[in-house]
Structure formats: C-alpha cells, structure tokens
Amino acid sequence: MISLTVNGHALQFDGDQDMPLLWYLRDIEGLTGTKFGCGAGLCGACTVHLDGAAVRACQTLLKDVAGHKITTIEGLSVEGTHPLQVAWQHANVPQCGYCQPGQIMQAAALLRETPHPSEAQIDEAMSGNICRCGTYTRIRSAIKEAAEQGASQ
Amino acid sequence: MIHERNITPGMANVSRRAALLGLGTAAFVLALRLPVQADESTGGADKKYAGAGMPNGIRNDPKLFLSLAPDGTVTFICIRSEMGQGVRTGLTMIVADELHADLARMKVQQADGDEPKWGNQDTDGSRTTRHHFTAVRQVGAAMRQMLEAAAAQKWGVPASEVETVNHEILHRPSNRKLGFGDIAAAAAALPVPPPDQLKLTDPAKFRYIGRDDQKIVDGFNIVTGRAGYGIDTKLDGLLYGVVLRAPVYGGTIKSYDATETLKVPGVVKVVVIDPTPIPSEFMPLAGVGVVATNTWAAIQGREKLKVEWNDGPNASYDSATYKTELEGLARKPGLVVRNQGDVDTAMPKAVKKVVAEYYIPHLAQAPMEPPAAAARIVDGKCEVWACVQSPQAARERVAKRLGLSNDDVKVNVTLLGGAFGRKSKPDYAVEAALLSKAVDGKPVKVTWTREDDLGHSYYHTVSVEHLEAGLDASGKTVAYLHRTVAPTIFSIFKPDQQHEAPFELGMGAVNVPWNVANLRVENPGVEAHTRIGWFRSVSNIPHSFAIQSFIAELAAAAGRDPKDYLIELIGPDRIIDPGEQADGWNHGEDPKLYPYDTGRLKRVIERVAKEAGWGRKPIQGRGLGIAGLRSFASYTAACVDVAVSKDGQISFPRVDIGIDCGPVVNPDRIRSQLEGAVIQGISLATLGEISFKNGRAVQTNFDGYEVTRIDAAPREIHVHIMDLGSKDYTRPLGGVGEPGVPPVAPALANAIFAATGKRIRNLPIRDQLAG
C-alpha cells in the first residue's frame, strides 16, 4: 500500500508498485489528461509535476512517488486559468492537441524556475516534448506571453 | 463557442482511405483503376467529381446536421474527424455565417460513423472544406429560411419582411423579435427549401468566414486535459489490451506459450488474432492479444509471451538491398505513363545532359496519439470508440470480421491525437472488437505502444526517382525524362500491384507544368514487401523532392538563378487540362473547375520569393532555396533560409511558405496547417527514415525514429495566403491540410546547395553535411 497526493487529493494504492505513474493516473484514477506517447521518456506527452518539478510519468514508478505530491494538467488550475492555459488559447497553439498537456506542464515548470526565459532557454527546456503537428513556433510565443503575464506565480 | 466540459471522446485530419473504402465494390475504386485513356474514351460523361464522386456523396439536409434547443443553443453535427486541421471549427464557422447565428451560442457534436446517413466521412485528401463549403452553407441558409418562415407564420406577416440577425429573428416593421429557441419546433416542422430557393449570405456580410482570430472549438478542453481522444476512452468495466503482432508483414504464428503471461497479476485472457491473408488491406495482422485490468499489466503480460513466428514471404525484406533494386529499375525503361514530343530524339541533340537520382525512404506517420480503440459487444451488437479518419471503413471492417451487419456496428469517433494518414486504416478498431469478443463482449480498449506503431505502420512508400534532362546552348531544357519507382498503396488491396496508381502518379509525377516540348515519365514496376499507406501529402513527397531539386540542378547547370529558371520552365500563364498532363485523376476534381493554372503557381512562387528576400546579398554559411507546385487542388511554394555551420549542423533562421487555396474560410487554421507542414517537411527531410532488416522495421521508438523537436524548428515561419481578404467565394476551394508539406524538403535541399554547394539527393539529410 502506498500513499500519494494527486492534485491535492490524498490517494492510496495497493496494486503493483512498479507500475509507472502514467498508467496509474490514466487507468486507475481516470486522469487521462496525462498522455501516453512513447513509454520511454522520449516525447514528454506524459509530463506531470512531482513536488513541483517536471517529470515523465511513464518513467516514474509508483513506489518512488509514495508520500509525494503529483500535479497533472487537470490540477494545474481549477478553472483552466493558469497563464499558460490562457496564453495557449490566445495563440491558438494546439492543432490536434494531444501533446499540449505535456507541453504546458513542462512550460509551467520552466517558468517556475525561470520566470523570463530567453528563446534559447525555452528551446532547451521544451526540447523533450515532441509535437508532430508542428506547433513549436506558437509554443514559443505562448510561453513568452505567459511569462509577461507572470506565469511563475 | 460553448465548451463541452463533459466531453465525450470526440474527433482528426489528412488524406487517405481515399476512396479505397470498399475495394472491389465501390465505383470510386473502379474509377481510380481505369487508365486515363479508357476514362477519356467515355468522354467523362458518367464520371462524378468532388464530393459527389466519393462513396455516399455529400449531404446538405439542415434537419440532419442542426438541432436547436429551447434556450437557443444550436448544435451542429460534424461528420468529419478532427485531427488538428481545425475542421470542427471551420465547418461551424461556415454554418454560423449562413444561419446568422452567434458562434458563442453554438456547440459541435461529433457524428458516429454512418455514411448512408451522413454522407462521405473519409477525412483525407485535404478535402473536407473544399467538398463541404457549399453544402454546409446550404445547411445554414436552409435552416435560417425555415426559422424565418416559421416566425412569419406566427406573426402573420410575409416571410420577405422577416430577417435573421445575430441569433434573432426580426420583424422590423412591427419591432418584434424571436430567439431561435422560441421558434425552433415550428421551424423543424416545415419542409426544407430546395437548393434553388436558398438565399445564400452575401460574403461581404460574413462575420466568421475569412476572419483571422477565430479560437478553435476544442481549445479549452485541450489545454485543461479534458479533450477526449481514442486512447482516453472510459467505459464501465473497461479492460485493457495490447497485442504482440507478427513482426513481418504476412507472418503467422507458428506456436506460442502464454503460461508466464497468465501468471501476471491483472492479466485476464490471452487471445489469438488470426492472420489476414496478404494483401491484408485494413484488417489486423496476426497476433497474440493480452487482456488485463490495466494497460501496464497487459504490457507486462505481453513481455512474457513466447511466440514463434512463420515470417512468410517478406522475411528477407531489407532496405539497403531494396534501394539497389530500385536504382537498377530506375535506370532501365519502364511503363510510359506520360509522353509528349520525342525525348529519345531530342536528348542526344542537347548541348548538356544532366542526370540525377534521388532516394526517399519509408516514413511512419507516428501521430503522438498512437492507434487506439475500444469496443464492446452487447446482445450481438458491437459498439466501438476510436480515433479514426474513416469511421465507415472501421464499421465495415469490424462488421465483416465479426460476421455482423453494418447496422449492428456503431463507431463513435473521438478526437484524433494526430493522424497524418495512419488513422485512415482502422486495423486497431478491428483488434479491439476481436479482443472484446474473446472476453464475452466486455469492453476492451486496445492501446498501441510506440513500438507497435513504428513496427506495424502503413508506411509511406520508398522510392528512387531518376531524372534526366537535356539543355540547349542557352541552358533551356529541351528534353525531360523522369522514372519514378516506388511500391504502391494499391499493394495492400490487391495482389501483384507493381505500378504506382493513378492517384500516386497524379501527385506530381505526371502532372508537371513544364513548358518543354519533349517530356516523358516512366514508372517501372516493383513489388511491395510491407504495408504501404497514405502519409500526409503521400506521393507528392518523393516526386516533389526529386523534381524540384532537379530543376534547381538544371538551373545550376545552366548558370541561372534557380527561381528564375523554375518560373521560366513553368512557362507562360496558361490553363492546362490535367488530362493533357496524363492526369486523369486530378484529385477527384472536375478538370474544368480545377485545371492546372500555371499563372497561379508562378504568383505564389514569386510571392514567397519576394517575402523571403530572394536575391539578397550572399551571407556566409547561409542559403535560400525555393520550390513550388500544385497539389490537392492548391498551389504552394516554400522558401527556406538555412544556416549551415562549419561542422555541418543546419538551422533555420526563417521559412516562408505560401498557398493559393482559392477562397479562404479560416485563415488561422490555414496558417497553423502550413506552420505544421513546414515542421513536418523539415522533420522528414532531416531525420525521417524507417528502414527494414529481415522483414522487420529497424526503428522502434523516437530515439531511432527521430522527429524534429522545438530546438531544431525554424526561428520564424511566415505564412502567406494568396488573395486573403477577397470576398469572391465563387471560385473553387483548394485543399490545405497537405499541400504545405511537398515544397519544404526540396526547398531545404536547394537552400543547402546555395549555402554550401553540396547537393542532397538522399533523404534523410542527417549528418551528410558533416566533415
């Protein structure tokens, strides 16, 4: 039995503790905003926050998050009003949208560490997140816009 | 628009099942199979074009697509899949403008797969907007006129005195008004006015169509994680499945042992999926499925399977050997698919001869959401939830494999997390149905891992393109020979298919606009050894890369500016019947409405050249390259500004891309499609390759099959939409989802040549510039 906190809710799980957090979130808790893209830490679609830092849920085992706080896209803001979520909609960033929760969670971690990132810092922080639709130039714009709005708060 | 916060898995884009639905029965397939000459012999009298030529046609019944709630909310049913191209947004804008509705009071509902009811649902071929623009306008206008007629009856006034403005029906003489909801029931009881009695809205009064700031319908749900894709399907009692598939196309199970699998906690059942004889079309590959209480348990169980395979006839497929085979074929005469003048006489007389060969490898679409589908069977009826581009194809395949009638299969269409052609082939929906059947109809969701996706794609073809040209003393091209050799998509449908299909040759191989007297295109035959399928822009990728690179090589041989040479080779402004280019397909469009207009092509090329600063002073280590062509009934051109470092690393300060797609519906989604096309074009040109060894795909995940990431994306992408702001909506619409891709790779290769003098003839580029 392990205990963890997801989006502010205390949860317990007595199944396979070697299960990656990704499948626990999606299949057990029904939090499908965290996406499966590669299962190997190569694409960033499953990015969540572990105690505030961006991690790949597909590479994070349940036993390693016991007692920790997880935030998923569903918990980034209550009403979808995080400055990044606002900026993403303002710039009409998504095409298919599938990778965007992971992109936003990665960007949120970036802005927490670096409230006003340079374009090079944006590229470096976001280069683990693949978008096959090719929304990269808009992702850069939206991150800059959110930074101006004070997304680090 | 109203956000559906309680989202059902909802919607996807690109081209594909194209027409191939119901192979062997659909007239469309037969039309595709007819040689150009036979088609012309009928005078084209019985040929249907555009949406009318698609299986089940296009509908325009407002009662089918619109419903009005008492509070005035208008629900529009979108029958095409949303995969990022923006179809849910664009079609709703169109209907809102004709209904004179307030877009903020509209909702979009995704249709299930039912073509006899909805009309054609194949979301492919960059066709949705161009085939639905008029029909959806008619839907909106008819409903508006019905609302006005109902209001007029209620008020006892002539309908001519009633008008609709921003979601209200007005009678100005008496200063009365009604909301849509107030009169919806009465309007619904009225007959639908026929098309010739519809009063379409003056485009000058459009409030949404053509506007550049329209937010996408699903934006809020996407950024909050609420958007529902196929892989996100939730059902009571849902079980989770993965499948271990035959690693070689056509392989079968020799033996298997699931003893250890069944010991994995959570594993419920192991299911054999019988092979589909090749060509296996959209049906599943042979495999062993593992059903479990969660995806992780299923994956763990699959790893413990012991399976011996019979690899079958494609066991020795090897990309390197195949490339040599293609090269050998490309150097010998093949089936002539276009011929004008006399190349054999003109070529030897040329002052200079240029010969070049290009290689474009297999690619995988690799949408970020891998294939996924859920199914359950209750009382002999199967219900499916899936991210499919072709829900009717899914329905028919599931019905066939389960031995049900189409009416006993319902396919719910979710959002598609990218598709790029992969999801026009619904083999994964059939797998879900088979797994459900094996557990007594309980709901099962099958998820493809990335390894499954890259190992069992319907791969983009692989080709060698051989080009020869003769130049006269002035450098002008006087003879042109192109041999294209590539396994065909038709090979997944019928045995012994060795030649490119008309729709493949018509993607830029035969239908070149060159103003050259002596021109021949040949297509030597070759056998396919894996599943070949549509990939965004399809055969335009190899044809355009080779041809547009070659034209720049000719310019270099002639000592001319490559843009000027390209423009001159296109020649004077003229309207060409595609039939004269041996293109009897013409993207399914009427050649009279959609001829090859060389003036439009030249204008878009000149536009991107000007915007990109063509002719600028040379910059050390930098180069501009250009390419332009017609595809999917649109004209596109790209100008790439590349920077090449001393150690051969390339980066992109800027890319300009232009499109002439005729009338513009949603400029923002045109921009986003072209921005994405630039990235996808750069990705396939610089990194993209699936290779085969012993019949198996070599690359297994995004470490081997690399794709462009944000740090390699251009610093700036500038999209130029021709005639933006024009209110002339009488012209035929062109496609948008795919035409941006083909010019990117050759423009990039031409830019590298300008920067370094090195000519890229083999894709991907990878480290060819190093050292």
pLDDT (0 to 100) of residue B700: 98
Tell me what the mean pLDDT of segment A82-96 comes to.
98
Q: Do A16 and B297 touch (CB under 8 A)?
A: yes
> Among all residues of chain B, which has the CA nearest to that of A32?
B232
Tokens 């994306």 sit on residue: B713
Length of chain B: 771
Residues B592-609 pLDDT 10s: 999 999 999 999 999 999
Closest Cβ–Cβ partner in A42, A73, A137 for B717: A137
pLDDT at residue B226, rounded to an integer: 98
A74 and B216 within 8 Å at the Cβ level: the answer is no
Tell me the residues of chain A between 75 and 94 that have a Cβ less than 8 Å away from chain B: 76-77, 80, 84-85, 88-89, 92, 94
Residues B93/B209, Cβ–Cβ less than 8 Å = yes
Q: Do B708 and A36 touch (CB under 8 A)?
A: no
Q: How far are the Cα atoms of A25, B337, B563 from residue B478, in angstroms, in the given order? A: 65, 19, 18
Q: Above 50 in pLDDT, residue B500?
A: yes
Contact B231 A35 (CB under 8 A): yes
Option in A80, A98, A133 nearest B223 (CB): A80
| Average pLDDT estimate for B548-576 | 98
pLDDT band at B666 (very low <50, low <70, confident <90, very high): very high
Q: In 3D, which of B233, B121, B198 has the Cα closest to residue A36?
A: B233
Residue span(s) of chain A under CATH 1.10.150.120 come to 83-148
> Which residues of chain B neighbour A141 with C-beta distances below 8 Å?
none
**Substitution target from A105, A132, A138, A143 for chain B, most B beta carbons within 10 A:** A132
Rounded to an integer, the average pLDDT of A102-118 is 98
From chain A, the residues in CB contact with B680 under 8 A are 132, 134
- B526, B332 contact by CB (below 8 A): no
Task: Write out the residue limits of the CATH 3.10.20.30 domain(s) in chain A.
Answer: 2-76
Which residue type sits at B195?
P
Report DSSP letters for B494-553, one per residue: STT--S--HHHHTTTTS------SEEEEEE------S-B---TTTTHHHHHHHHHHHHHH
**Tens digits of per-residue pLDDT, A42-64?**
999 999 999 999 999 999 999 99
- Identify all chain A residues contacting B219, using CB atoms and an 8 Å cutoff: 88-89, 92, 94, 97
Secondary structure of B284-347 as H, E, C letters: CCCEEEEEECCHHHHHHHHHCCEEEEECHHHCCCCHHHHHHHHHHHHCCCCEEEEEECCHHHHH
B415 vs A contacts (CB less than 8 Å) = 96-98
Nearest to B215 among A15, A92, A119 (CB): A92
Q: Span B360-379, mean pLDDT? A: 98
Across the interface, which of B225, B679, B710 has its CB nearest the CB of A74? B225
Under 8 Å CB pairs connecting chains A and B tally to: 200
* CATH architecture assigned to A83-148: Orthogonal Bundle (1.10)
Q: What's the pLDDT tens digit per position in B394-437?
A: 999 999 999 999 999 999 999 999 999 999 999 999 999 999 99
Interface test with A, best of B222, B226, B453 (most A CBs within 10 A): B222
The answer to whether A130 contacts B707, with C-beta atoms less than 8 Å apart, is yes
CA–CA min distance A63, chain B (Å): 15
Q: Using an 8 Å CB-CB cutoff, list chain A residues near B718.
A: none
- Confidence label for B2 from pLDDT (cuts 50, 70 and 90): low
Of B215, B219, B418, the CB nearest to A133: B418
State how far residue B224 is from chain A, nearest Cα, in angstroms. Answer: 6
Residue B6 has pLDDT above 80, yes or no: no
Interchain CB distance below 8 Å, B450 and A131: no
Is A105 at the interface with chain B, CB within 8 A?
no
pLDDT of residue B1: 54
Q: What is the pLDDT of residues A122-138, one digit of tens each?
A: 999 999 999 999 999 99
Say if residue B33's pLDDT is above 50: no
What's the mean pLDDT in B673-677?
Answer: 98
CB-CB under 8 Å, B708 with A31 = no
Q: Do B224 and A36 touch (CB under 8 A)?
A: no
Nearest by CB: A100 against B222, B451, B702: B222
Q: Residue B9: pLDDT above 50? A: no
Q: Do B297 and A42 touch (CB under 8 A)?
A: no
Sorted by sequence, the CB contacts under 8 Å of residue B604 that are 6+ apart come out as B628, B635, B636, B637, B658, B659, B660, B720, B722
Question: Over the stretch B601-641, which tens digit does the pLDDT of each residue have?
Answer: 999 999 999 999 999 999 999 999 999 999 999 999 999 99
Tell me the two tokens of residue B188.
């619904």
Q: For chain B, first and last CA: distance in Å?
A: 54
Mean pLDDT score, B722-731: 97
Distance, in Å, from the CA atom of B467 to the CA atom of B456, rounded to the nearest integer, reads 32
Of A100, A126, A137, the CB nearest to B223: A100
Q: Residue range A80-106: average pLDDT?
A: 98
**Residue B479: band (very low, low, confident or very high) from pLDDT cuts 50, 70, 90:** very high
pLDDT above 80: residue B466: yes
Record the pTM.
0.95
pLDDT at B10: 31
Which of A92, A122, A127 is the closest to B709 by Cβ?
A127
Interface test with B, best of A19, A46, A84, A95 (most B CBs within 10 A): A95
Which residues on B lie below 8 Å from A27 (Cβ)? 240, 294-296
- Our CA-based measurement puts residue B707 at a distance from the nearest CA of chain A, in whole angstroms, of 8
Please state, for a pLDDT cut of 70, what percent of chain B lies above it: 94
Q: Residue B36 above 80 pLDDT?
A: no
Query: How close does chain A come to B367, measured CA to CA in Å?
Result: 6
In 3-state terms chain B splits into helix, strand, coil percentages (rounded to 5) of 35, 20, 45
Q: Are B223 and B173 in contact (CB under 8 A)?
A: no
The whole-angstrom distance between B56's CA and the closest CA on chain A is 27
Are residues A97 and B227, on separate chains, in Cβ contact within 8 Å?
yes
What pLDDT does A150 receive?
81
CA nearest to B232 within chain A: A32
B257 Cα to chain A: minimum distance (Å):
24
CB A138 within 8 A of CB B672: yes
Q: Which of residues 7-66 of A touch B (CB under 8 A)?
A: 15-16, 19-20, 23-24, 26-28, 30-40, 42-43, 45
Across the range B508-512, mean pLDDT stands at: 98
CATH architecture of A2-76: Roll (3.10)
The whole-number pLDDT of residue B47 equals 87
pLDDT, mean over chain B = 94
**In this predicted model, what pLDDT tens digit does every residue of B179-228 receive, in sequence order?**
999 999 999 999 999 999 999 999 999 999 999 999 999 999 999 999 99
Residue B44's pLDDT band (boundaries 50, 70, 90)?
low
Asked if B604 and B660 touch (Cβ cutoff 8 Å), the reply is yes
Question: In this model, does residue B11 exceed pLDDT 50?
Answer: no
Residue B322 has pLDDT above 80, yes or no: yes
Residues of A in contact with B417 (CB under 8 A): 35, 96-99
**Mean pLDDT, rounded, of chain A:** 97
| Interchain contact, B711 vs A97, CB within 8 Å | no
Contacts of A30 in chain B (CB under 8 A): 234
Q: Dig out the tokens for B145 from the structure.
A: 């006129």
Does the beta-carbon distance from A94 to B224 stay under 8 Å? Answer: no
pLDDT exceeds 50 at position B13? no
Question: Helices B667-686 & A136-148, crossing angle to 10 degrees?
Answer: 120
- Coil, strand or helix: which one is B681? helix
Residue of A nearest to B668 (CA): A92
Q: Report d(CA A139, CA A123) in Å as an integer.
A: 10
At B654, the pLDDT band (50, 70, 90 cuts) reads very high
Output the pLDDT for position B45: 61
Which residue on chain A is closest to B86 by alpha carbon? Answer: A95
| Chain A residue nearest residue B218, CA to CA | A97
- Does the complex come out with an ipTM higher than 0.85? yes
Confidence of residue B23 (pLDDT cuts 50, 70, 90): very low
